[in-house]
Amino acid sequence: MSTQKMHIDSYERNWMIVSAVLLVLFATAVSVAAFGLGIQVPAPEQRVDPRTVATDPNSPWSNPGLREVAPGKYDAYILARAVPTWEYLPKEMTIPAGSSVSFYVTSSDVQHGFKIQDTNANFMVIPGQVSKLTITFDKPGTYNFICTEYCGSGHGVMYGAITVTP
Amino acid sequence: MAKKDKDDDEFRPTGTIAVLTIFVITLIAIWATIYMILVGRGGTL
Amino acid sequence: MNQYQVSPAEKKFIGSHLLVAILALAVGSLFGPLQAFEHAGWDFYPYLKPLIKSYYQGLTVHGVLNALVWTTFFIMGFLTFNVIFGLKRPLKNPTLNKVGFWLMVVGVVTAAIPILANQATVLFTFYPPLKASWAFYLGLTLVVVGSWVEGWGLFMTFYAWRKENPNERSPFIAFASVVTALLWQICTLGVATEILTMLLPWSLGLMENVDPQLARTYFWFTGHPLVYFWLLPAYISWYAMLPKQAGNGKMFSDTLARLSFWMFLVLSTPIGIHHQYVDPGVSPTWKFLHSMFTFGVFFPSMMTAFTVVASLEHGARKNGGKGALAWIGKLNWSDPSVATQLLAGILFFFGGIGGLANASYNVNLVLHNTAFIPGHFHLTVATAVTLSFMGISYWLVPYLTGKKLWQPKWATIQAWTWFVGMIIFSNSMHVLGLLGAPRRVPLGLAPYVPAEWNSRLIQVGIGGAILFVSGAIYLLVMLKTALNKETVEKEVEVPIAESMQDPANTPVWLDRWAPWIYGALALIVLMYGPVLFEMISNIALNAPGFGKGPIW
Ligand code: HEM
Ligand SMILES: [Cu+2]
Ligand SMILES: [Cu+2]
């Protein structure tokens, strides 16, 4: 009984080979973008206590905002919150073109999202966790950042803007 | 209970290959378009 | 032709599943068009205030009833039919299956009460620390437990058949149905753990705070294989029934069909982190590994595409189909059960493409939580699955009730309107997502919508309107069929496509269960063990809940 051989039609075998090659191709392209071009997904950064992160004077999110850490290099500490109302703190930031900004975003209540339009910054904001990505803004203009995870009835009005000056 | 039709052995799924070729071309085109958007939007490190 | 007789009691039992499923779809689908209209700027929510307080209460109803209730009930009913009819034997322990079914019904009612009372506006993903009424979590638990119990009833029946037929190859539809039920048992362990160790005690006040990142990880342990639980029953129909209906074709390869079901069982759970690529608390190493395994599960889908299309072509050629593509016209398009499923399959090609893009690690940065995502899954669960289930019901309901299908012509119109409406709706949602539009937002009111989105938002509304018409026709056809005075002359023939190769020649190892189950569990331990171990040992229960009042 167990001598039965698996029968696979030659067309189907070729199709499976094509599928495998295709997937290897995609995997390679993704790896090149990640490890060659530095387009990476967020990594664990820091854990915080969502109950005190906005109020503890030692927490950078008790005084959210932009800090210039080196010429043209900034850290942006951003608090996302639904209570008392749906907003990011700060709501607006201005930087000169060519600046590179590391965003450190956390939440003091429910889950939120953070997506800066026309960039690859797009991640979850989870209470207790700090999300970080770094973006370089070469083109002047206004970049809205919007909430992309349901956080209550004001979810659709939760946004802010980065102004990049020439 | 193998009731094989004669033509089963001769059946060559050429139409299937045609359908799937169209599919693969579409897949590559759409996937590559999105991938190029990703690359165009720049690094995150 | 004498086919195996399913007993009237069993038919009624299967039919009750379909009844609950279709009722859920009727209510749940009402909100889809309303959401689409809102996007287009036609806001009906102010008029619904007495019943439905907000866009999000409606969205919760839409997600829960469509994605969870319609699918689960239809699937459990269809799998039960396949096991009985495939094995040609009654359920081993019908009481057990009944208990499971009623647990699910009680669960749905228990969860529906707080949803309708606006006490559970947390959407169908219920990410904590959004906090719903305890009844919502309890209801979901009962649905899951009920589906487990029904699954055990199916396993016992299969086991009894195996005892009676030790040397036979298991019939494909029964085999594939039991694999699907098994996949469900394994994958729901995630959400069961989430609810039982965190959300339920927390909502009951026995626990003050939760760890939202850990909860998400449990959730997506279930969330990805969930989509295979939805899809596999449609695949069963496409593999083993549709070729017969569409032109008397035979299943191209029994061996590969079985192999792909095993691959789904083994590969679909240990890849759930592909939904968490942009979560802060999961390491990129695991994200990357899960993305590579996700490419792996695309493989059985490609095999399915080949086998199904080839089986259809086989029938079409016998009926005189010619050319590279012209043979498609020879398929039996006038049968609404065929038209629905062929159109569902066509759109599923595009659903697969979108899914592959989502799953491609950093490519997810472009798409995550944008309108692309609902665009994508309305091609998969809301079309490949839903439209196929509608197609199955076009023969299954007449089979179960003995009533003639009311106006097959209207059923065919239903198939085509869903197809056209969905193309318009889903295409515009995909494009909006690529332009940066977020999901889960009443975009008609959002302050940041640029002018370039507007024409696409209108198309969302137009697609939604066509889908509304299609959904209404489906319900009308079902209602009129249930009330039809015309009965079928003889029992509806169950469409079963024979295999081109004798199933007895399928290798025995494709009919052994233990190695595959151990393989599935081993991969889960490998791909989730370290992640969960790390998260649980560093658990931080520090997020208090937020619910009605401050949040909705
Ligand atoms: C009648 C046709 C339908 C239309 C016009 C429609 C429309 C929509 C729209 C516009 C959204 C997006 C809402 C948002 O992101 O704010 C949505 C969400 C959704 N739809 Fe549908 N839908 C339909 C049918 C279905 C069906 C049949 C299913 C499943 C079987 C389904 C499952 C879902 C799910 C799971 C969501 C996500 C809910 C969430 O984000 O929490 N829909 N639908
Ligand atoms: Cu939000
Ligand atoms: Cu998934």
Q: State the Cα–Cα distance between residues C433 and C370, nearest whole angstrom.
A: 5
B-chain residues within 8 Å CB-CB of C354?
A: 30
Question: Residue C349: its chain B contacts at CB < 8 A?
Answer: 23, 26
State how far the Cα of C348 lies from the Cα of C352, in Å rounded to an integer: 6
Pocket test for ligand 1, best of C22, C25, C34, C35 (most atoms within 8 A of CB): C35
The backbone torsions φ and ψ at residue C33, rounded to the nearest 5 degrees and listed phi first, read -60, -35
Q: What is the pLDDT of residues C14-56, one digit of tens each?
A: 999 999 999 999 999 999 999 999 999 999 999 999 999 999 9
Q: Answer yes or no: do C278 and A124 touch at CB < 8 A.
A: yes
Nearest Cα neighbor of C307 from C258, C351, C369, C253 is C253
- ipTM value: 0.95
Among partner residues C316, C317, C362, which is closest to B38 by beta-carbon distance? Answer: C362
C-alpha distances in Å from residue A121, one per residue of A118, C115, C363: 9, 34, 12
Nearest CA to ligand 1 atom 19: C63
**What pLDDT does residue A3 have?**
41
Name all chains with 3 or more CB-CB pairs below 8 Å to chain B: A, C
Cα angle C137, C140, C143 (rounded to 5 degrees) comes to: 155
pLDDT at C160: 97
User: What confidence score (pLDDT) does residue B2 get?
Assistant: 43
SS3 call for C456: helix
CA distances to A62, C170, C383 from C420, rounded to whole Å, are 52, 39, 11
- Amino acid symbol at C28: G
Which residues in chain C show pLDDT less than 50?
none
Chains in touch with C (3+ beta-carbon pairs under 8 Å) read: A, B
Distance CA C385, CA C25 (A): 13
Any idea how long chain A is?
166
Chain center to CA of C171? 23
The continuous run of DSSP H or E covering A76 comes out as strand A73-81
Residues of C belonging to the active site:
224, 228, 376-378, 439-440
Q: Which residue of A has its CA nearest to C441?
A: A156
Which DSSP state fits C436?
A: T
Burial of residue C253 (number of CB atoms within 10 Å: 0-12, 13-18, 19+): buried
Q: Which of A11, A22, A134 sits opposite B44 (nearest CB)?
A: A134
Average pLDDT over residues B24-44: 97
Chains in contact with chain A (at least 3 beta-carbon pairs closer than 8 A): B, C
Paired tokens of C227: 């989509």
C310-319 exposure pattern, b = at least 16 Cβ within 10 A, e = fewer: bbbbbbbbbe
Q: Which of B15, B35, B41 sits opposite C313 (nearest CB)?
A: B15
Distance CA C318, CA B7 (A): 9
Residue that the structure tokens 């331990």 belong to: C525
Residues C196/C275, Cβ–Cβ less than 8 Å = no
Helix axes C71-87, C8-40, angle to 10 degrees: 150
> Does A30 sit within 8 Å of C280, measured CB to CB?
no
> What's residue A5's pLDDT?
56
Question: Is the CB of A38 less than 8 angstroms away from the CB of B41?
Answer: no
Mean of the per-residue pLDDT values of chain A: 94
Ligand 2 center to C37 CA (angstroms) = 21
Beta strand A73-81 pairing with A99-107? parallel
Q: Where are the domains of chain C?
A: 11-537
Mark yes or no for CB contact B20/C504 under 8 Å. Answer: no
Mean pLDDT confidence for A59-78: 97
Any idea what DSSP says for residue C171? Answer: P
Q: Are strands C209-210 and A131-137 parallel, antiparallel or unpaired?
A: unpaired
Cα separation of C220 and C283, whole Å?
15
Query: What is the nearest CA distance from B43 to chain A, expressed in angstroms?
Result: 4
Whether chain B has a CB inside 8 Å of the CB on A24: the answer is no
Secondary structure of residue C507 in the 3-state scheme = coil
Q: What angle do CA C377, C380, C383 make, to 5 degrees?
A: 110
Our separate counts of H helices and E strands in chain B read 2, 0
Which residues sit with their C-beta closer than 6 Å to ligand 1?
A: C 29, 32-33, 35-36, 59, 62-63, 66-67, 70-71, 123-124, 374, 378, 381-382, 386, 425, 439-441, 464, 467, 471
**CA distance to partner chain A, nearest, from residue B42 (Å):** 7
Please report, as a single letter, which amino acid is at residue C34: L
pLDDT, position B5: 54
* Out of A129, A152, A155, closest to residue C280 by CB: A129
Is residue A1 predicted with pLDDT exceeding 70? Answer: no
Contact B44 A29 (CB under 8 A): no
pLDDT value at position A2? Answer: 39
Task: Name the class of domain C11-537.
Answer: mainly alpha
* Shortest CA gap B20–chain C (Å): 8
pLDDT of residue B6: 53
In this complex, do C551 and A82 lie within 8 Å of one another by their Cβ atoms? yes
Residue A44 pLDDT exceeds 60: yes
**Whole-prediction pTM:** 0.96
Q: Are strands A112-116 and A87-89 parallel, antiparallel or unpaired?
A: unpaired
| Cis geometry, peptide bond prior to residue C128 (ω within 30 degrees of 0) | no
Distance, CA C356 to ligand 3 centroid (Å)?
9
Interface probe, candidates B8, B16, B38, B45, chain C, greatest C C-beta count within 10 A:
B16
Collapse the DSSP code of B12 into the 3-class scheme (helix H, G, I; strand E, B; otherwise coil) and give the result.
coil
- Cα–Cα distance measured from residue C247 to residue C258, given in angstroms and rounded to the nearest whole number: 22
Per the CB < 8 A criterion, the answer to whether C263 and C300 are in contact is yes
Q: Whose CA is nearest to atom 3 of ligand 1?
A: C32
Q: Does A157 touch chain B (CB under 8 A)?
A: no
CA distance C508 to C519: 17
Residue of C227, C378, C423 with the most ligand 1 atoms within 8 Å of its CB, for mutation: C378
pLDDT of residue B10: 74
The ligand placed nearest to the CA atom of residue A148 is 2
- Least confident piece of the model among A60-69, A148-157, C127-136, C500-509: C500-509
How remote is the CA of residue C502 from the centroid of ligand 2, in Å? 56
Contact C365 B20 (CB under 8 A): no
Do residue C509 and residue A2 have CB atoms under 8 angstroms apart? yes
* Unique residue bearing structure tokens 């490998």: C526
- Residue C324 sits at the chain B interface (C-beta within 8 Å): yes
Taking CA–CA distances from C317, the nearest residue in chain B reads B11
SS3 B2: coil
